[in-house]
């Protein structure tokens, strides 16, 4: 279950992603030495990151980062998701409705101590979106930008109740593609909740 907090206020500048520490456009034929595959098989298809079901690769230049942003593109109508991994936390957007558009999202922990999986509501039906995730302390934030204008249409937060470390990876299921990765070292900031913010209770 989740509760929605609606409050007046603008999404603060701190929530907009600053200059990124590392990036990858995947405009080549192989992942290369900046990536270490830790589960399944990972590879590049048509200048985008891809992998076998439940595959994961970690981005070595971002081993100290705690924020990432990546374009997630669905292919077809089967079950598929694109997931940003931060330390031991997993933040994903998923399609399981059979129409080839994003309809669910989730936060989970490798320790399985805390997590939540929920339907996406109030968003347009799209097959491509930019997913941004950050983890500061015990709190993870997910931003979903469906029109790719640089500002999220929806922001979700989840408190894991414990720290999950740093380092950025990507995880896939199904024929989803991920592209134009950017990573950063995010810092805590006090911001007023925006009217598109959903706080997911533990």
Q: What band does 2 get if pLDDT is binned at 50, 70 and 90?
A: very low
Q: Are 88 and 161 in contact (CB under 8 A)?
A: no
Q: Rounded to a whole number, what is the distance in angstroms from the first to the last CA of the chain?
A: 9
Q: What is the pLDDT of residues 97-124, one digit of tens each?
A: 999 999 999 999 985 566 899 999 999 9
- C-alpha 144/C-alpha 163 separation (Å) is 23
- Statement: residue 96 has pLDDT above 60: yes
The CATH code for residues 3-200 is 2.60.120.200
| Per-residue pLDDT tens digits for 136-171 | 999 999 999 999 999 999 999 999 999 999 999 999
Alpha-carbon gap, residue 57 to 183, rounded angstroms: 14
């Amino acid at each position: 279950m989740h509760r929605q907090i609606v409050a007046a206020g603008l999404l603060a500048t701190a929530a907009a992603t600053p200059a990124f520490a590392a990036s990858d456009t995947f405009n080549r034929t192989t992942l290369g030495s900046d990536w270490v595959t830790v589960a399944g098989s990972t590879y590049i298809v048509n200048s985008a990151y891809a992998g076998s079901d439940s595959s994961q690769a970690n981005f070595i230049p971002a081993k100290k980062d705690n924020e990432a942003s990546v374009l997630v593109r669905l292919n077809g109508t089967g079950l598929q998701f694109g997931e940003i991994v931060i330390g031991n936390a997993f933040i994903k957007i998923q399609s399981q409705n059979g129409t080839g558009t994003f309809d669910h999202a989730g936060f989970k922990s490798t320790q399985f101590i805390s997590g939540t999986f929920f339907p996406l509501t109030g968003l347009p039906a799209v097959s491509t979106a930019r997913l941004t995730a950050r983890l500061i302390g015990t709190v993870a934030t997910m931003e979903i930008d469906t029109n790719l204008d640089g500002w999220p249409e929806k922001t979700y937060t989840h408190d894991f109740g414990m720290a999950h470390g740093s380092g950025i990876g990507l995880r896939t299921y199904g024929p989803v593609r991920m592209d134009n990765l950017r990573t950063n070292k995010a810092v805590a900031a006090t911001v007023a909740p925006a009217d598109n913010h959903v706080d997911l209770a533990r």
